[in-house]
Structure 1
Amino acid sequence: MRVRRFLRHEVRALHSLGLWVLRRRHAVPEGALAVPYTGPQTAMMYGLLFVSVVETVMLALLVPWPVVHGVLLVLDVYGVVFVLGTQAACVTRPHVVDADGALRIRYGGLFDLRIPSGAVVGARVERRFPEGGTVRLGEDGVLDVAVGGQTTVTVELAAPVEFVRPLGKRGRARVVRFHADDPGAAVAALTRGRRAPSPHQDPHGPA
């Protein structure tokens, strides 16, 4: 199961590289707000990429054995592609706030949580620095989807929502905190969506 999820992530990363080159985004419908979240990790990712490239060049100059050199070269090239693919997946798969207030929280090709319209009862800008990895569920039912060790938006839900962690384990969250590069815009879009009338509701009220 974990191997299958890892391979799926690899495919999404390669697909994201193509989207990145074409300057396109994945599954951002017309009228929706794309919410980027890569700000806190961009410098780190490019730092890793620089180190990987330097390591590849140094090994090419220092390793005299062709077989060993070939194996290390393949591993280093894979490392470069992995870093680029991870960053590309995060850039091309932003969070999304639909016009009706539905929320989609993502982290590249590793995490994807959809919260339906009407499930959000409150949203606010709130910067926090949770401990743990990128996706962490606390015992209190609070789900943190952090980038660079921080979250900037807190969303309160009408009822717990189920989600799937990157390695496949399921969980339920009653509050979701995630990072947005522009948290004010994300909260404003969620607030507008909550106040917008339902498409099935008569805007003039009952007859």
Structure 2
Amino acid sequence: MIGRLIRHEFALGTSFLRWVARRGPHGVRSGDVVVPYASGQVAIMFGLLFASVVETVVLALIIPWPIVHAITLGLDVWGVYFVIALHASCAVRPHVIGADGSLRLRYGALLDVRIPASSIGAVRAQRKYVGSRFGAVDDEGVAAIAVAGETTVVVELTAPVRFVRVLGKPAEARAFRFYADDAAAAVAALAAAAALAAAAALAAAAGAAGAARPAGPAALRGRVGNAVESGGDSPVHSGP
């Protein structure tokens, strides 16, 4: 548990620095499609940030004991940083649709779920309020990765996918609900990636079958003819 919390803090810190430096999204390769989700929580994050700043100022004014004042001030400053870093990690760690049709669902530095293309059965846009059950799996095997308590896309799987929840508890889901800023674009990108991956797989299978097919008579005659022509061009040495 302690090790996982340390890794979370490190990931939050690196995400915050990436956000400040305006670098590109984390974990995105050439051909991948980024699916943002952070804008759906901007209002809530600003509300939390405002409350944290107000609390810091009020406690600094009413606490007379220097040691207690220093402790609470440190905790409040860390709280302000955590809110900013969490939102920053969500901005630089979006969902990712891989060029191979796979799907990577994330929530900042706290959650990371990888779904292979072969496990994706159906995708549709559907808005639903799921409350605060972040990463929880319901009785029907559906996991929710919500933003502001809402999800906008549903991914049904052909096989269960295992993942690790925020605090390290393992879980398994047969479907995922997640939030995307543009649900229709996310569904279209997933469908396009799946179609491209399927076409590439068919092309690879056809190429392998063609390479393994034995050469026919015409091909053999062509090879023999080429060999004869090559031999005719070489010098002929007569015996002594």
Report TM bin, short chain.
over 0.9
Q: Which runs of 4+ in 1 moved over 6 A?
A: none
- The count of aligned residue pairs is 206
1:198 deviates by: 5.0
1:204 deviates by: 9.4
**Farther-moved stretch of structure 1 (66-75 vs 150-159):** 66-75
Amino acid at match of 1:79: G
1:73 deviates by: 1.0
CA contact (8 A) 1:144 1:177 kept: yes
- What per-residue deviation string (whole Å, max 9, x for no partner) do you get for residues 1-32 of structure 1? x2221221111111111010112221111221
SS at match of 1:137: coil
Give 1 or 2 for the bigger CA radius of gyration: 2
Identity, in percent, stands at 48
**Farther-moved stretch of structure 1 (103-112 vs 56-65):** 56-65
Inter-partner Cα distance in structure 1 for 2:62 and 2:160: 56
- What per-residue deviation string (whole Å, max 9, x for no partner) do you get for residues 177-202 of structure 1? 11101111110111011211354532
Alignment correspondent of 1:101 = 101
Alignment correspondent of 2:15 = 16
Inter-partner Cα distance in structure 2 for 1:193 and 1:156: 16
Alignment correspondent of 1:31 = 31
Alignment correspondent of 1:43 = 43
1:20/1:203 Cα in 2 relative to 1: closer, same or farther (>3 Å)? same
Alignment correspondent of 1:201 = 202
Q: TM-score, normalised by structure 1?
A: 0.92
Inter-partner Cα distance in structure 2 for 1:159 and 1:63: 56
Q: TM-score, normalised by structure 2?
A: 0.80
Alignment correspondent of 1:4 = 3
More strand by share: 1
Consecutive unaligned residues of structure 2, counting only runs of 5 or more, are 211-240
Inter-partner Cα distance in structure 1 for 2:64 and 2:108: 38
CA contact (8 A) 1:156 1:174 kept: yes
More helix by share: 2
Map 1:125-164 to 2 at 5 A.
Answer: 125-164=125-164
Inter-partner Cα distance in structure 1 for 2:5 and 2:181: 27
Alignment correspondent of 1:91 = 91
Inter-partner Cα distance in structure 2 for 1:26 and 1:202: 31
